[in-house]
C-alpha cells in the first residue's frame, strides 16, 4: 500500500502543489545538445592557437565548461520538470545562459579568423555556420516542447503553436545568416564599427526574442488564445524583418558585399506583408468585439458564460433576499 504524501498548506490556506515529475529523456537530450555544441566551440578555439598558448586555452575552456555543467545540472532538471506545464521560466533562464556563453566563444572565434585573414579555411568557417544554425534552433525546439504540452487539448491550437515556432526558427536563421557574414571569407572587410555593431545586434536579438516567445507561451497558461500572442510578431517585424533589410541593403550598396542573401530579404518582405495583414485583422476583431472587456471578448468560453448570466438573473425572483447559505455556494 502506497504512502500518501502530506502536502503542507501555505499561509493563505491553499495547498502548495509539488512540481510535476521530471522528464528525464528531455533533460538528457537538452544537456547533450548544449554540452556537445560547447565542446565543438572549444575545439575551434583550441585549434586556432599554437604552441604553449594552445595548452592554456585548453585549460581555460575546460574549467569554463565544468563550471557551466555544474550550473546546467540544476537548471536543466527544472526545465525538465516544467515541460508538461504551461510555465517556461527555467527554459528562459537556460536559453539566456546558453546563448550568453556560446556567443562569447563565437566572438573570440570570429576575432581569431579576422586576425588571420590569410588562412582561408572555407570548410571550417562554413561548418561553424552550419553548427550554429542547427544547435541554436534545436535547443529552442526542445525548450518549447510542443509535443509534450498536455494542457493544449485542441489540435488547432497546437498547430498554431507549431506555426509560431516555425517563424521563430526562421527568424533565428535570418539573424545567424547576418552574423555568419562576419567570419566567412569576404573580399572587402567591413569597418570595425560596422562589424561590432552587427555582431552585438545579432547577439541581443538571439538573447531576447526567443525569451519573449517563451514568455508568451508561459503567460497563456492552460487557455491558450492565439490572437493574444502579438508581442513577438510585433518585435520581430521591427527588429528582424525591417532592420535586416536595411542591414543587407547597406552591405550591398556601400560595401559591395556579394554574399548578401536575397532569399532572406524576400522572406522579410513577405513577412512584413503578412504581419501587417495580421495586425489589421486583429484591430478589426477588436473593433467589432462586444463593448465590455477586450480580454473577455477574445475568449469564446468567457463570452458564452457572460451570455448565459443575464438569463439566469431573469429566472431569479426579484423580491427575495438570498440566504447566507446561498451566498456561500455562489462564492465557492
Burial of 84 (0-12, 13-18, 19+ CB in 10 A): middle
The dihedral sign for the CA sequence 226, 228, 229, 234: positive
How far is it, in rounded angstroms, from Cα 4 to Cα 2?
Answer: 6
Cell numbers given for 102: 556560446
In a domain, 79, yes or no: yes
DSSP string, 12-57: TSPBPPPPPPP-HHHHHHHHHHHHHHHHHHHHHHHHT--THHHHHH
- Name which of 216, 143, 226, 134 is nearest 172 in CA terms: 134
In a domain, 102, yes or no: yes
pLDDT of residue 19: 52
**Spans in the chain with pLDDT lower than 50:** 1-18, 292-332
pLDDT of residue 41: 95
Domain that holds residue 237: 24-114+122-287
Residues near 57 by Cβ (< 8 Å), separated by ≥ 6? Answer: 45, 46, 49
In a domain, 70, yes or no: yes
In a domain, 6, yes or no: no
DSSP string, 46-68: HHT--THHHHHHHHHHHHHHHHH
Residues constituting the chain: 332
How far is it, in rounded angstroms, from Cα 318 to Cα 265?
Answer: 66
How far is it, in rounded angstroms, from Cα 324 to Cα 326?
Answer: 5
- Number of domains observed in the structure of the chain: 1
In a domain, 278, yes or no: yes
Q: What is the CA radius of gyration of the chain?
A: 26
pLDDT of residue 138: 95
How far is it, in rounded angstroms, from Cα 91 to Cα 32?
Answer: 16
Q: What predicted TM-score, i.e. pTM, was given to this entire model?
A: 0.77
DSSP 266: H
Beta carbons within 10 angstroms of residue 195's beta carbon: 16
In a domain, 306, yes or no: no
- Name which of 271, 278, 248, 244 is nearest 260 in CA terms: 248
- Name which of 197, 176, 183 is nearest 48 in CA terms: 183
In a domain, 320, yes or no: no
Q: Which residues pair with 9 in a beta bridge?
A: 15
In a domain, 133, yes or no: yes
Local structure of 292: helix, strand or coil? coil
Amino acid at each position: 500500500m502506497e504512502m500518501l504524501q502530506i502536502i503542507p498548506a501555505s499561509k493563505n490556506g491553499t495547498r502548495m502543489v509539488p512540481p510535476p515529475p521530471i522528464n528525464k529523456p528531455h533533460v538528457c537530450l537538452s544537456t547533450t545538445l548544449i554540452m556537445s555544441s560547447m565542446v565543438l566551440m572549444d575545439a575551434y578555439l583550441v585549434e586556432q592557437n599554437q604552441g604553449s598558448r594552445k595548452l592554456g586555452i585548453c585549460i581555460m575552456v575546460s574549467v569554463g565548461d565544468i563550471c557551466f555543467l555544474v550550473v546546467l545540472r540544476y537548471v536543466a532538471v527544472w526545465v525538465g520538470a516544467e515541460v508538461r506545464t504551461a510555465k517556461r521560466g527555467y527554459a528562459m533562464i537556460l536559453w539566456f545562459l546558453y546563448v550568453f556563453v556560446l556567443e562569447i566563444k563565437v566572438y573570440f572565434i570570429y576575432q581569431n579568423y579576422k586576425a588571420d585573414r590569410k588562412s582561408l579555411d572555407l570548410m571550417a568557417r562554413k561548418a561553424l555556420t552550419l553548427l550554429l544554425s542547427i544547435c541554436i534552433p534545436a535547443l529552442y525546439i526542445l525548450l518549447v516542447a510542443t509535443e509534450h504540452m498536455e494542457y493544449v487539448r485542441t489540435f488547432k491550437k497546437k498547430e498554431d503553436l507549431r506555426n509560431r515556432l516555425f517563424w521563430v526558427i526562421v527568424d533565428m536563421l535570418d539573424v545567424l545568416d547576418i552574423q555568419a557574414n562576419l567570419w566567412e571569407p569576404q573580399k572587402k572587410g567591413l569597418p570595425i564599427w560596422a562589424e561590432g555593431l552587427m555582431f552585438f545586434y545579432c547577439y541581443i536579438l538571439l538573447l531576447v526574442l526567443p525569451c519573449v516567445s517563451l514568455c508568451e507561451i508561459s503567460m497563456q497558461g492552460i487557455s491558450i488564445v492565439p490572437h493574444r500572442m502579438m508581442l513577438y510578431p510585433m518585435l520581430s517585424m521591427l527588429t528582424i524583418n525591417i532592420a535586416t533589410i536595411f542591414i543587407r541593403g547597406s552591405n550591398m550598396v556601400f560595401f559591395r558585399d556579394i554574399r548578401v542573401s536575397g532569399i532572406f530579404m524576400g522572406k522579410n518582405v513577405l513577412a512584413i506583408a503578412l504581419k501587417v495583414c495580421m495586425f489589421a485583422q486583429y484591430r478589426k476583431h477588436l473593433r467589432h468585439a462586444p463593448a465590455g472587456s477586450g480580454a473577455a471578448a477574445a475568449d469564446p468560453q468567457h463570452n458564452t458564460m457572460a451570455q448565459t448570466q443575464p438569463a439566469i438573473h431573469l429566472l431569479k425572483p426579484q423580491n427575495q433576499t438570498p440566504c447566507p447559505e446561498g451566498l456561500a455556494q455562489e462564492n465557492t
